[in-house]
Amino acid sequence: MTGTVDATTEAARKAERKAAKQRLTEERRLRRAQEAEGREAARQREREAVVARAYAHYLHVRDWARRVSAAGRGVAAPLASAEAQMAAALAPLWNAAPEAVATLRRWTEPITGVRPSDYDNPPRDLALRLKYAVGTVRRHAGEDLFVEELPLLGGFGVEWHRRRYNEDTVRFFKALVALQDGGVLAECRGNVQRRLVWEIGGGWGGFALQFKTVCPNVTYLITGLPELLLVSAVYLMTAWPAARCRFYEPASAAELWTGWEELDFVFVPDGAVVDLDAPPIDVTLDVMTLQRMSAPRVALHVERAFDLGSRYCFSQVPGPCFRDELPAPWQAIARRYWVHQVPPPLDAAFFVVDRFHDAPAIDDYAQAVGWRRLRV
Amino acid sequence: MNPAGSGLPASGGSQTPTAQSPKVVLGMPAYDRPDALARTIESILSQTFRDFALVVADDAPSARTQGMVEAYAGGVVPVTYEANGRRLGMIGNWRRVFQRARELYPSSEYFAWVSDHDLWHARWLETLVAVLDEHPGVVLAYPRHLQVTSGGVRWSAKEKTFETFGLSDPGRRLARSARDMLSGDMIYGLMRARALEAAGVFRRVITPDRQVLLALALYGQFRQVPDVLWYREFLHRFDIARQRKAFFPGGVPLYAYAPPHVQHFATLLWDFALRGRGRPLFGRLAGLGYAARQLWWSCVRDVVRPKMEWRKLRPISET
């Protein structure tokens, strides 16, 4: 009799323990779900704040771009067809809704040709190709020059080891490494003297973001078409809310460079390049911009860089490397600078072959650093 | 620690010293390269470090070369052009340009040979001077480089990293240099002029660059900076027959056919064991030991690193 009572009591205890355990599990699940919801809500609020900030920047930059365009400072000389096509493709951004600004990176295909949709479900060969390229360059140059694609404003890419990158990221990474191998980057990475760097065109702001991340102690001048600046300025100001930016104003052009050492970014429309009166430039950068331009516009930019004292003129153009004839932009650069091509980082296996002229197959881009000529 | 600036003999007297010596003198032994000369001189005169002078000794004098050099004279950087009265050969011209540099600027601290066809990045001098200024025990600083070929620019076939930085024992520095050094990359580095003078400048042997660097290793450390600051023209592979012809224009002496390591051993033995040129840093007996150590480690190098691809006797264009 006693044994039966004990067994019943034991079974009741077991059931009670089981029920308590289930309650605890359920409570934990609920708590986790609530926490996840809270985190998601916070992220959503943060995203909305970023988008609101981006849209406010957009309105500000658009007003400025319209103003300088109306003042005849938009474009320096007739555009080449490639530039005109790009500008036309970006034209819808003049009247962008907040939703469009929230996904600004997805509007940049006309600028670099990289299709965001390719990264929605990235094919395996694309992911492998990018991973291989990043791995090769990292082995050559180390980790510290690699800057990933930000998730900001519709940022996209393949993800590997918690790093997001796409074809733009890789190309910019290669440009940074070429600048390092060409001996230029070290000049901009010091903390002693503020450097002034001029990027012609500026793209969507991706290279500026990478360069400023690696070399914070520079003032970064971007000149370009108003449509391009509309993208790059909004992107950079959103990525760096604390960045100190200044915009060229035709009415007060003389004050543009007052206290320039305190600035992070300076935006100047293409039409003001011709009489740009900047302090001595340290480095001029062309990241696939000059190759779109007509010969007179290329010459205008190179001459201006030289006249402003730029010691180096870096240029990245589509490959192959080491072609027999210099690419057109480099021919213009060579009139004012000694052009030295920077070889791409190659796998060790290539060296064994020692067939130098096979190098073009290795890389998609050719990169060179121009050293300022003393006698021209 | 072997402070390179101390314990070295005083520099020799000058014939026509200038009023004030710059900190650095660059000596260019020129030989008929007007095609590349302007670009080379501009890369040198574009240096961000400005306290230097350029001395050019031309072993194949021509009006064109002289005109090109003199076109750059008269600027902030003193440029001196001198044509050799008779052909001195490569060793003679390298010695000559160093000698003239010391005569013109006897109290300059640092010296570097520069070729008439390579290219130097604008920060080359600034970076190397900073290394020598910061580390008194370093006698030679040199950068990484790219190879310029007829097809463009390339990375060298293997990563050439070598330095003896941090080694205070001269014997260990010499041994490591004899075993691992690639002297062709380092001979264009920036050196302490007095240490180079004490090491013997260029001796009339095969691979004299290697010989002088081995001797220099006894006076201080070698430091390599990681930046690419030198674009080195690379048109021919190492060719010992070509060296003999270029070094001895008046006829090749018999000893030049002996293995280079033996020639280097003989010069080190003569300088440091017999003549005692290492004093007061080290005596004759130590000098004898160093010469023997050089021979041993150079032979070890040849055993463990058999003839490499880059030593084949072919111009690059044929590969």
Q: Report residue A174 as tokens.
A: 């290669």
A160: left (phi > 0), else alpha (psi -120 to 50), else beta? beta
Neighbours of A128 (CB within 10 A): 13
Looking at residue B155, its pLDDT comes to 66
Alpha carbon of A52 to those of A152, A250, A326, B38: distances in Å? 13, 29, 46, 57
8 Å CB contact between B65 and B90: no
User: Where does residue A187 rank: exposed (0-12), middle (13-18), buried (19+ CB within 10 A)?
Assistant: buried
Q: Distance of alpha carbon A341 from its chain centroid, rounded?
A: 23
> Of the candidates A95, A64, A60, which has an alpha carbon nearest to the alpha carbon of residue A251?
A64
- Interface mutation target, options B70, B77, B79, B155, chain A, most CBs of A under 10 Å: B155
Looking at residue A339, its pLDDT comes to 92
DSSP string, A41-105: HHHHHHHHHHHHHHHHHHHHHHHHHHHHHHTT-S-SSPPPHHHHHHHHHHGGGGG--HHHHHTGG
In this structure, the strands spanning A337-342 and B79-83 are unpaired
The answer, yes or no, to whether residue A84 has pLDDT greater than 50, is yes
* Domain-wise residue ranges, chain B: 24-254
Contact residues, chain A, for B42 at CB < 8 Å: 338, 371, 373-375
The Cα of A334 is separated from the nearest Cα of chain B by a number of Å equal to 12
Alpha carbon of B272 to those of B112, B259, B283: distances in Å? 24, 20, 8
- Confidence class of residue B17 from pLDDT cuts 50, 70 and 90? low
Q: How far is Cα A21 from Cα A26, in angstroms, rounded to an integer?
A: 9
Mean pLDDT of B128-150: 92
8 Å CB contact between A312 and A373: no
Does B255 touch chain A if contact means CB atoms closer than 8 Å? no
Contact at CB, B146 and A311, closer than 8 angstroms: no
- Confidence class of residue A347 from pLDDT cuts 50, 70 and 90? low
Q: What is the pLDDT of residues A175-204, one digit of tens each?
A: 999 999 898 998 899 778 999 999 999 999
Q: What is the pLDDT of residues A125-182, one digit of tens each?
A: 899 889 988 888 888 888 899 999 999 999 999 998 889 999 999 999 999 999 998 9
Looking at residue A145, its pLDDT comes to 94
The answer, yes or no, to whether residue B18 has pLDDT greater than 70, is no
Contact residues, chain A, for B122 at CB < 8 Å: 183, 311, 371
Terminal CA-to-CA distance of chain B, rounded, Å? 45
Cis peptide before A296 (omega within 30 of 0): no
Looking at residue B52, its pLDDT comes to 97
Interface of B with A in 194-213 (CB under 8 A): none
Looking at residue A350, its pLDDT comes to 43
Of B45, B123, B153, the CB nearest to A340: B153
Q: What is the pLDDT of residues A29-52, one digit of tens each?
A: 999 999 999 999 998 898 899 999
Q: What is the pLDDT of residues A306-321, one digit of tens each?
A: 999 999 999 999 987 7
- Interface mutation target, options A137, A177, A181, chain B, most CBs of B under 10 Å: A181
DSSP code for A110:
H
Element (H, E) at B110: strand B110-113
Domain presence at residue A286: yes
Domain presence at residue A29: no
- Confidence class of residue A363 from pLDDT cuts 50, 70 and 90? low
Which residue did the predictor score with more confidence, A2 or A13?
Answer: A13
Domain presence at residue A212: yes
Q: What is the ipTM of this complex?
A: 0.78
The Cα of A177 is separated from the nearest Cα of chain B by a number of Å equal to 12
Domain presence at residue A296: yes
How many pairs of residues across A and B have Cβ atoms under 8 Å apart? 69
Does B42 touch chain A if contact means CB atoms closer than 8 Å? yes
Contact at CB, B151 and A341, closer than 8 angstroms: no
The Cα of B130 is separated from the nearest Cα of chain A by a number of Å equal to 14
| CATH code: domain of residue A156 | 3.40.50.150
Of B121, B154, B158, the CB nearest to A356: B154
The Cα of B19 is separated from the nearest Cα of chain A by a number of Å equal to 27
The Cα of A122 is separated from the nearest Cα of chain B by a number of Å equal to 33
Which positions ≥6 away from B157 have C-beta within 8 Å? A351, A354, B309, B310
Maximal C-alpha separation, chain B: 52
Q: Which domain holds residue A81?
A: 52-372
When mean pLDDT is compared across B150-154, B179-183, B188-192, the lowest value belongs to: B150-154
> Of the candidates B293, B312, B309, which has an alpha carbon nearest to the alpha carbon of residue B301?
B293
Q: Report residue A297 as tokens.
A: 């516009």
- Looking at CATH, the fold of the domain delimited by B24-254 is given as Spore Coat Polysaccharide Biosynthesis Protein SpsA; Chain A (3.90.550)
- Confidence class of residue B315 from pLDDT cuts 50, 70 and 90? very low
Residues of A with CB under 8 A from a CB of B: 181-183, 186-187, 311, 321-322, 338, 340-343, 345-346, 351-352, 354-357, 359, 371-375
Contact at CB, B153 and A356, closer than 8 angstroms: no
The three-state secondary structure class of B179 is helix
- Confidence class of residue A233 from pLDDT cuts 50, 70 and 90? very high
Does B85 touch chain A if contact means CB atoms closer than 8 Å? no
Q: Considering its fold, how many domains does chain A have in total? A: 1
The Cα of B12 is separated from the nearest Cα of chain A by a number of Å equal to 35
Does B40 touch chain A if contact means CB atoms closer than 8 Å? no
Looking at residue B16, its pLDDT comes to 53
Within A270-311, strands assigned E span: 283-287
Q: Report residue B141 as tokens.
A: 């600083």
Looking at residue B15, its pLDDT comes to 46
Element (H, E) at A338: strand A337-342
Buried b (16+ CB within 10 A) or exposed e, A217-255: ebbbbbbbbbbbbbbbbbbbbbbbeeeebbbbeeeeeee
DSSP code for A191:
S
Q: How far is Cα A65 from Cα A91, in angstroms, rounded to an integer?
A: 12
Domain presence at residue A1: no
Contact residues, chain A, for B157 at CB < 8 Å: 351, 354
Of A342, A356, A373, the CB nearest to B42: A373
* Residue in B closest to A371 by C-alpha: B43
Looking at residue A357, its pLDDT comes to 46
Q: How far is Cα A115 from Cα A102, in angstroms, rounded to an integer?
A: 17
- Interface mutation target, options A187, A283, A323, A371, chain B, most CBs of B under 10 Å: A371
HEC per residue, A215-236:
CCCEEEEEEECHHHHHHHHHHH
Q: What is the mean pLDDT of chain B?
A: 86
Maximal C-alpha separation, chain A: 115
Q: Distance of alpha carbon B43 from its chain centroid, rounded?
A: 19
The answer, yes or no, to whether residue B136 has pLDDT greater than 70, is yes
Domain presence at residue A31: no
Does B117 touch chain A if contact means CB atoms closer than 8 Å? no
Contact residues, chain A, for B226 at CB < 8 Å: none
- Confidence class of residue B8 from pLDDT cuts 50, 70 and 90? low
Q: What is the pLDDT of residues B216-248, one digit of tens each?
A: 999 999 999 988 899 988 776 667 888 888 888
Mean pLDDT of B83-109: 95
Q: What is the mean pLDDT of chain A?
A: 90
**Bridge partner list, A113:** none
Contact residues, chain B, for A334 at CB < 8 Å: none
8 Å CB contact between B222 and B177: yes
> Of the candidates B229, B140, B231, which has an alpha carbon nearest to the alpha carbon of residue B186?
B140
8 Å CB contact between B147 and B232: yes
Looking at residue B151, its pLDDT comes to 62
Question: Tokens 């030679």, residue?
Answer: B140
Which positions ≥6 away from A190 have C-beta within 8 Å? A217
